[in-house]
A and B are shown apart, each in its own frame.
Chain A
Amino acid sequence: MSLRSEYEFGIMALLSLMLIIPMYFPRYYVYIIAVTLCYAIYALGYNLIFGYTGLLSFGHALYWGVGAYTVAAFMRPELGPFRIFSMEALLVLSVVTSALVALAVGSICVRYTRIFFGLLNLGFVMLWYSLLLKLYYITGGTDGLPVYTPTLLGQSFTAEVFRTYTYYYYVLAIFLATSLMMWRVVNSHFGLTLKALRENSLRAGFVGLDISRYRLASYVLSGIWGGIGGALWAPLSGQVSPEISTWLTSGDIVLMTILGGMGSFIGPVIGAFVFLNLKVQIMHYTTFWQLFLGSAVILMVLVLPGGICGAASSLRLRRTKTAS
């Protein structure tokens, strides 16, 4: 078991190493990878509640939105001298806001399971969405809010340099840090507890575990990760709008996680990379990306429930079997 975990972490390290190379890649691609890293953080967080704890939420984009809007909100010109441009401060604020929202929403949601859990989360993200649309004097309504270039560790950069060079490394660093933290979490006693909850919540209760409490903890952590992802993404996008947090965009993160394989740690990261890059590639040729990705999901559920990672590991298993 630990050999496999080492293998997985090795892949992650390799991946990150590869990512340093994009100095040599076209600027647009660096931008895309940076965006993907944000989604990867988001996906890692989502996998905690979905893959490890076994709860399917169709409203996780709520936290992405909370994180992104927190950043945009504190940059608003209306705040005058109270505007915050420090990315570090903005990240901390996003963690706080997403944690609070996750605590509030989660404490209601974790008392229910399966379809109800999924629908409740859907309800909350759509509530958030409709409030974003309607409270336009705060949130900018359908147009949303602009996001200005923040400072990184106190340094300012021109928008161009920021987007295509410096910020990329910043995001990469945070990605690595949050991944390491998540790695610790899933390999701890807590991680095992979550897996037990996923496998058999009834028995977990009879083993002395307070089901709701652990689910809430998992939910809040996954919300925080989502908020970090959204917050990091906001300066890249330059604009936040209500469309980023609907049940449909929540569906995107579910697709990413399934695509990559929800039973594993890096599955969601791979899923995020594949999903986004595939989408970009597909969009070069046709606007009908839903067709392809939707079909991919159907295929996954029917044929490869383990996703890309699941397929890879079973392939490896088969090869070792024939070898012996």
Chain B
Amino acid sequence: MCKTIRTLIAIPLALAGALTAGSAYAHFVPAPCDFITGGGWVTDDAGAQVNFGAHGGCKNGAFWGHVNVVHHGFNPPAHLKSTSITGYLMDPAFPNARDICGEGVVDGGAGSFTTRFRVRLEDNGEPGGDDRFGLRLSNGYVLSTRELGPPGRTGGGGNIQLHKPNPSTTGPSPAPTEAEMCGGVPPP
């Protein structure tokens, strides 16, 4: 039921967004814009735990949010902390998903450097095991988008929530392109 409602909402959102952003880009700022929030953990392809906490969206003509990721595949663990949010996008092929793009700092066992990042958060209902998370950095690192759990499938946990628009959830006008928002970093 929840998925059906979301799909019914997402289709006009996608069409509106496509009209707003033009057809040259597969991903665009949803129109009207909204929020997504969530936290949890997944395991990477080598079995290492990756924790995340994130929220993002549009706020009064700009993008807004925070993204934090801790990757235990490094010793000590690598941390990604967002320093600015430069984009918030949806993919009509995944109407329950939103991508948050931004700039951030990585430190820990992966070294210390600044990076562009793109995370995908996908809300596929409650309690959250079907929700999905992925991450890609501008240096080529990618954690492909995967389910949060339950443990035993991909391993992980957590919950992601896509929130409806409100009067403040306006993005930049005109909407920037996907390349401008994400610096060429493709979806994870």
A and B bound? Answer: no
Residues of B whose CB lies within 8 Å of any CB of A are: none
User: A residues engaging B (CB < 8 A)?
Assistant: none
